[in-house]
Amino acid sequence: MALLTLAEAKAQLDIDTDAHDAELLAYVEAVTPVIEQFTGPVENRTVTEQVNSRSNLLALSQAPVVSLTSLTPVLTGGQAVDVGDLAVDSAAGVVRRLDGGSFAGGPWTAVYVAGRGTVSPTINLAARIMVQHLWRTQYGAARGMVGGGDDVSVTEPIAGWGYAVPYRVLQLLEPFKAPPGVA
């Protein structure tokens, strides 16, 4: 599952030849981490990490969470927890025991799939627009693009994002914004 395919980027840019595929693929691949910095993981990936808890909750670092694969204590001799006995708040990346118990005996090694399961059409559109915005740098002054064109002037940077991410992309991604402390 790709956030954006080469074919989708070519369609957005009205490119019908293969002449720029290698270069355009670099743009397509560069868009994913920028989008995911704002939304958290979109493309599904397996994550293995150590987590600690002093309560009955474990907070995974990458949300949303598609599924929890395993939860085992790091220390030898500890008992793995059956993932069927756990509830995962997918959006927040928080794991809790269904029996109300705590996560004693940690730290724990959590293996899970982070991402969204499917790419929302809105996130895909934001990625298409971002590739289009970045691809415009190919034109330079020849097409009147000095100073930012119609996206935003380089003298008006977006707080925390700079000029690479136009307002329209941020507005499309707003409903998918990662919770604080995630992404």
For 133-168, how does the pLDDT look when each residue is reduced to its tens digit (9 = 90+)? 999 877 654 544 444 455 544 444 455 555 678 889
Q: How many residues does the chain have?
A: 183
Task: Say whether both 125 and 102 belong to one domain.
Answer: no
Task: Say whether both 122 and 102 belong to one domain.
Answer: no
**Domain limit, last residue, from 66, 86, 114:** 114
Task: Say whether both 49 and 110 belong to one domain.
Answer: yes
DSSP helix/strand/coil, 176: helix
Average pLDDT over residues 17-41: 93
Neighbours of 110 (CB within 10 A): 24
Task: Say whether both 87 and 49 belong to one domain.
Answer: yes
For 84-131, how does the pLDDT look when each residue is reduced to its tens digit (9 = 90+)? 999 999 999 999 999 888 887 678 999 999 999 889 999 999 999 999
DSSP 38-71: HHS--S-EEEEEEE--SSSEEE-SS-SEEEEEEE
The pTM of this model reads: 0.75
Domain count for the chain: 2
Residue 93 structural domain: 45-114
Task: Say whether both 123 and 171 belong to one domain.
Answer: yes
Task: Say whether both 32 and 64 belong to one domain.
Answer: no
Find where tokens 């809790």 sit.
Answer: 96
d(C-alpha 109, C-alpha 51), whole Å: 6
- Peptide bond just before 64 cis, omega within 30 deg: yes
